[in-house]
Structure 1
């Protein structure tokens, strides 16, 4: 007798907007946070939990024959990771800071040493001890006071990215009896060592909308509200400038930004506005000597330019150009040192690091010789130094952390990622870049990696990965975990589709709002091109994406299901119309400039035309594994749960459709260092099993 898949009950809910009616049979699956948190479950909550558990049981049964394989994959992936490990130390304000991992333990240990690396080690936090009794644990926002006496830090034990800030006296080891709840986890000390600025979230939408000031010794519930962001499409944050002179409050939306600043020596004073927000103008600020440096897209600088203004005259009419806008180069960030300006930019999709002396006597680019790679500046907190610290890796090359002397141009490799197990040799792998013609004439880049002994033909299994939203670029990075696919004959490809910024700001602009479908057609065109040039065939092509990349998966399989044998959709954002119409859901209001506001009919019609949940139809779909987290605050669990229920109802095939809900975690999955590998092992077992690879 064939195993029967779960069948969710149908309770039609009519949703009407712009004289258009949608019928949602699975609307009932939505629970409030209060329902999920209640000790005694109401009938609706029981029904939802029972359904999610039934799907988990079904997935367990279908995947039961791979359990041994999953375990060996887990041990294989874990075996490549150096369990006894520590970070390269960095120095800040008289102390060297180090993060360590110990064998058999899931969480990091944070320590520091005063002035010299051979000084006695001080324990800041042992997260393994702190995580005891919690199924999820995350420490965030470690923030040391200027006198090195106190540390503020945030803890999340639910996985909804809601942190409680605590303060520890580093001289006595005492945790002070104050809890600051419902925060982002981050905070900033004023220079008086007793005033702490922090960001609080809206209880329901989780939008970070308020900045508070707390003075040590007081009651945190009576902390002073310093700033409230009233515009629901914006979020706010607070930090200290690298120069340590200013506390800065930022407000940002998808298209617009605004900053306020305050001398860190006078935390009781009022913040000054830097440049009032102008819709469509983005800017960010960095302080050096008596000036602010401004990265901005003002005056049609779509790829951004660098400007400068005196700290006493900060509004836009005072800004002077330092680096002009360049059509072919995206300005991404800057690092400021006493004698050097370091510019991080992207040309033709590739990271570039440009070093310039302030006195104008020299400028040059760091040389990189790979066809596709990732390079970025890392922890550069010291100001008066000739050393730039940056990281480099490629799809076939493990990550290296490098100190570069900007005067002598000498490179010191501080650490190269070790791949344990004795089988890895980077010379056995090849990486390259391929360009796929899109339907509208654009060329879509893809980064590719495979073992050199893999036969590339129509029978080669290939996993195509994509994201394509928010201007977020998926750079070609090295992964020890991915080796478990490559060593079994898979080719791995990242599609740098529109909606990301791989080819500059316009690449992003052409994949959002009313051009969002370019993201999906780009991915389909990449798949078609890979088949055309004989890297694989539809019988061996797989696709994967998570979050907004899960939306990509949902849209693509509605549009071209015949191209893929299997699809993994992780925490997928698939119920786009309903979510974007509901301003009580976390993230919604801040994303109107990304997707459009469906309360406007033009956007409603367009979003509905691609929203995966609204476009499921009676057709064949690929084999599918869908994953979610019950406590996810970014893509609520009910989106993938409803989607799977509707797919079960309508799909016209006997292919696998599996839903895995982690009942203990949220958007990022399991928190432990190795626990998350079990989730990857299940995903890989799903793919490999479809290929008939059993070991």
Structure 2
């Protein structure tokens, strides 16, 4: 039980008591307070003490999940200029090896096809992640960027989960690293056209990406030029490269407003040119198609439209209509190629990919199922007649297609292998609409084993997120099979706050309508009980980050429904975080949640649903909470404070566990098998506390 130390503060005439504030180390992001570390370690010891008796179950689930992973998994090769590229895993490796081989100088069509299919005799290793990760508790590769001439590789690594990456440059001819090292970067690395310099983004002390800098090879890093600096603490900065590779884009924005600047890739010393000056709630993105620009913008409609602009004038005044906005068609993105554009459109919650040629011809790509997830994949060739696509569904393993424009053929390049065996016809998927309390119908994606009855006897697992306009796709999961094969029915609640049904769906779950998200989830659960997919008290639920906030809110609203809860890196101390403008994500989050510092109405509203603030003396279901000590997105003290307060108030004997990864961040452990073991721990926890262990 965490000690309570008196602390209070007053805003808008309301005094808040927060006796667990001390769990935030005053020296953060350094965490060395002995009392804080002692508490986190004690909670970890308690986690181990309660889970170690079930290690055999956890290990069994892990081995099931691991057995469904292809040990030597490799990507489908992709072509980029004179080379094919591929990543692959070694059989027991946690990390990838990156390879390349020539795409030119081959003997005839047979040689070309052999290179397209996989490594040739001339294959070389670009980067060996297992070697870089050797001896490290945590390792994650960030940006990886080969120079235009193919001779240099710039890449960035994070070794503690703080998402402060270190950039280095490798000479691919010698295998040696150049002497320069650049710390505290994030996001992409983009080369100049002549490979003499590159652009990168740095984070400040509060982990806000705020500067774009230019590094000239061979020059001291300390002399790197600031190309752009963002002064608004509520805006983040990032960079990208146009499909034509003639321009580099510098983007600044928050969740609802954006501003883009362009720099010629051939002249990184040129002044960046603003495409459209920022104005509140105007979002847009831009790409270059050689002789014209393509723009996605919400200037006339929240579901976005596409526009064009002349190649010598990208300014908003020159934008001309290309695809009109629509109430029913939500344009989620586009990819630009020399002769066509691939447009991603969501219609009634279903992904569509449409191809648009310069002459106005349009083609929608047909997929084999009625409910699925599809997206444009990795396509690095600007002048191409083939489009890489990714596809899966609740019952169909991840599939990579190459769509051939000339023949309109979908070529299957790869289907996810399940070595231990998988038969799609043994599982059944459904999609239904659940009525929310305000009359809105909420989509629900469901999958179960065909032998699992729909009579209320099966345990039910519901996953949700519902924030930032991020839709949860009805996709395939090999891990999930360990639940389905144990008789669970699995559901995804496509609650408001995501953009599953369009931008309006996102707007209906943010700011002063945030509680719609929580109500939707509870109402979905009650509807599934009514439809006999589950029963009260035998429902396991899970969500992470903002989805962890969802877990905390629905536990407070309807604790009797849930048999087990997994809240991963949960954003649960919403009011305190939104009141602290020194934290990296607070100013940029105000368009999502509101600013309680300035607005007493927002203060009261956030306080009314903030899971930490709404904990009371009552019974709660069994809850597993996870955290990352180095997490810059949801700081470790949020889940720690939540569990401490929950322990002090709960009136039941149900198990509550907190596991803090002491050497990781927001995404948990970094190795592919280590991540899967954490999934196995969650499933084992749920099976145990719900009394489903044989």
TM-score by length of 2: 0.96
CA distance in 1, matches of 2:257, 2:644: 38
CA distance in 2, matches of 1:101, 1:312: 45
Tell me, what secondary structure is at the counterpart of 1:61? helix
Deviation at 1:690, TM superposition (A): 2.7
User: What's the CA shift string for 1:303-345, capped at 9, x where partnerless?
Assistant: 0000011132222221111000010111011122222221111
User: What's the CA shift string for 1:611-636, capped at 9, x where partnerless?
Assistant: 00000011111111111111111111
| Equivalent position of 1:4 in the other structure | none
| Equivalent position of 2:109 in the other structure | none
The equivalences for 1:84-483 within 5 A come to 84-115=72-103, 117=115, 118-203=120-205, 205-299=206-300, 301-360=301-360, 362-422=361-421, 424-483=422-481
Tell me, what secondary structure is at the counterpart of 1:28? helix
| Equivalent position of 1:24 in the other structure | 18
> Does the CA-based 8 Å contact 1:565-1:623 persist in structure 2?
yes
CA distance in 2, matches of 1:128, 1:147: 26
Tell me, what secondary structure is at the counterpart of 2:177? coil
CA distance in 2, matches of 1:586, 1:36: 15
Distance change >3 Å, CA 493–CA 35, structure 1 → 2: closer
> Does the CA-based 8 Å contact 1:349-1:504 persist in structure 2?
yes
> Does the CA-based 8 Å contact 1:83-1:102 persist in structure 2?
yes
User: What's the CA shift string for 1:407-448, capped at 9, x where partnerless?
Assistant: 2111210000001113x2111011110111011110000100
Tell me, what secondary structure is at the counterpart of 1:674? helix
User: What's the CA shift string for 1:187-210, capped at 9, x where partnerless?
Assistant: 11011211111100011x211010
> Does the CA-based 8 Å contact 1:337-1:384 persist in structure 2?
yes
Deviation at 1:369, TM superposition (A): 4.5
User: What's the CA shift string for 1:634-681, capped at 9, x where partnerless?
Assistant: 111111111111111111211111111111111100000101111111
CA distance in 2, matches of 1:623, 1:340: 53
Tell me, what secondary structure is at the counterpart of 1:676? helix
User: What's the CA shift string for 1:54-84, capped at 9, x where partnerless?
Assistant: 1111122222221111111111111111111
> Does the CA-based 8 Å contact 2:655-2:689 persist in structure 1?
no
CA distance in 2, matches of 1:479, 1:586: 33
Tell me, what secondary structure is at the counterpart of 2:249? strand
Deviation at 1:692, TM superposition (A): 2.9
| Equivalent position of 1:3 in the other structure | none
CA distance in 1, matches of 2:612, 2:691: 31
> Does the CA-based 8 Å contact 1:499-1:509 persist in structure 2?
yes
> Does the CA-based 8 Å contact 2:303-2:325 persist in structure 1?
yes
Aligned length: 679
CA distance in 2, matches of 1:546, 1:571: 6
Tell me, what secondary structure is at the counterpart of 2:326? coil
Tell me, what secondary structure is at the counterpart of 1:258? strand
Tell me, what secondary structure is at the counterpart of 1:76? helix
CA distance in 1, matches of 2:29, 2:291: 53
User: What's the CA shift string for 1:71-121, capped at 9, x where partnerless?
Assistant: 111111111111112111001021100101001111000011011522411
> Does the CA-based 8 Å contact 2:295-2:307 persist in structure 1?
yes
| Equivalent position of 2:66 in the other structure | 78
> Does the CA-based 8 Å contact 1:155-1:185 persist in structure 2?
no
Tell me, what secondary structure is at the counterpart of 1:292? strand
Tell me, what secondary structure is at the counterpart of 1:384? coil
The equivalences for 1:555-566 within 5 A come to 555-566=553-564
Which of 56, 59, 66 is residue 54 of structure 2 equivalent to?
Answer: 66
> Does the CA-based 8 Å contact 1:395-1:476 persist in structure 2?
yes
TM-score by length of 1: 0.96
CA distance in 2, matches of 1:537, 1:429: 21
Deviation at 1:34, TM superposition (A): 5.5
CA distance in 1, matches of 2:18, 2:370: 48
Tell me, what secondary structure is at the counterpart of 1:685? helix
> Does the CA-based 8 Å contact 2:564-2:690 persist in structure 1?
no
1:635 correspondence with 2:634: yes
| Equivalent position of 2:489 in the other structure | 491
Tell me, what secondary structure is at the counterpart of 1:566? strand
Deviation at 1:354, TM superposition (A): 1.0
- RMSD of aligned residue pairs (Cα, Å): 1.2
Deviation at 1:129, TM superposition (A): 0.5
| Equivalent position of 1:661 in the other structure | 660
Larger mean Cα displacement after TM superposition, 306-315 or 410-419: 306-315
CA distance in 2, matches of 1:264, 1:629: 38
Distance change >3 Å, CA 35–CA 528, structure 1 → 2: closer
Unmatched runs of 5 consecutive residues or more in structure 2: 105-114
Unmatched runs of 5 consecutive residues or more in structure 1: 1-6
> Does the CA-based 8 Å contact 1:402-1:414 persist in structure 2?
yes
> Does the CA-based 8 Å contact 1:541-1:564 persist in structure 2?
yes
CA distance in 2, matches of 1:356, 1:287: 15
> Does the CA-based 8 Å contact 2:537-2:560 persist in structure 1?
no
